[in-house]
Amino acid sequence: MGTKNQTNYKSTRSMAFSHQGLVVGNYCHDILLKDDVVLAESLGGAASFISNIFSLFSIHCSYISKVGLDFNYSHSISTPPIISPTSKTTLFEARFSSTKPNSDGSSGSDRTLKRVFACDPINPIDLPICKRFDFGMAVGVGGEIKLETLEKLVEICDVVFVDVQGLIREFDQIDGTVRLIKLKDTNFYPLLPKIGFLKASAEEAQFLDIEEVRKLCCVVVTDGEKGCKVYWNDGEVEISPFSTVQIDPTGAGDSLLGGFVAGLVLGLSVCDAALLGNFFGSLTVSQIGLPKFDPKLLQRVKDEVQNRSLQCTQHQVGDRNKCRFSKPLGHEQFYETLNAIRRAFYIPVQEYNTDLPDVHHKQTTSTLNHCTKHHCS
């Protein structure tokens, strides 16, 4: 493990109770369709899901995002985005088919993701000047993270978390369909030794070469109902999932990453923080769009995280870096406690109504038609 790599890992230990964070990634308009019927539209983009988690734990960050004059959710965010007068807000369509078969031949649903509009990219000059941050997050979704912007983020932040989707996504110039390319084929690859954590989905991980990337930075691979797995130079560990009924997978990985970073900021070990990430990821997929959380559930989670952080501090002995990544004493109990909290506030799936009221359906369809009429390549 290289010297810089060790520095990035160790710097996570000094993040406890720090509130100096910088999140870089555009807000989006998300439209969810099933069998060509609009189910919902909502505020999207990784920054929205992450800020949703951070606000629960009073983690105050600066958010750098760009939107167009058509942005519909200014009332829903605490930090005003940069307004681009020359481009529309990034718009994604997530299309599902209830008849498309799964890979095993069974019937199920499959998502096709398309970028309809792309807002302007975020430039280095858009980041704060003459200010340092304890941690930074590069969470692009629509091609808005430029190489020089990530270089600047690394320069002004002690530890950087990167969602690899912002680095390896390419978009069809005609229909906006998303495809992935190998990380090694991008200009971002040489920056890996300078970042602390790289988050990827199981699908995205196939484009990384985990065995090589883990030598350069810590990698968190999310795998839906299987939870996630954490890789570092000389070890790896599986983090247990939380059982849930999936309604909409949009934003699950973003919420997981937000919960993970929040856990580190609040003093949890890497494994405990990843468990907290799994917890919020499971809550997110059980709702459509940006999730809303029960205040009583949140209070119990915050109390448990605080107690767990104190326990982790008391039990750190020996090689602190090794302890930071290995499952600490009481990890399974922490899982059982979070699971019990989740069960206590669980809403059975039959109580969800994915067939939205007619009035809302008319509103979303109208918005979609408006967007389609103004489609730009």
Terminal CA-CA length for the chain: 44
- Choose the catalytic residue: 134, 158, 163, 254: 254
Please give the helix or strand (H or E) that residue 325 lies within, else none.
helix 320-325
For 151, list phi and psi in degrees, rounded to 5: -60, -40
β-sheet bridge partners, residue 138 = 24, 162
172 exposure class (CB count in 10 Å sphere: 0-12, 13-18, 19+) = exposed
β-sheet bridge partners, residue 229 = 221, 238
β-sheet bridge partners, residue 162 = 138, 198
Tokens at 228, concatenated: 């996630």
Q: What is the 3-state secondary structure (H, E, C) of 84-149?
A: ECCCCCEEEEEEEECCCECCCCCECCEEEEEEEECCCCECHHHCCCCCCEEEEEECCCCCCECHHH
Tokens at 114, concatenated: 């398309």
- Residues contacting residue 366 through CB under 8 Å, at least 6 positions apart: none
Indicate if 209 belongs to the active site. no
Just list the catalytic residues.
254
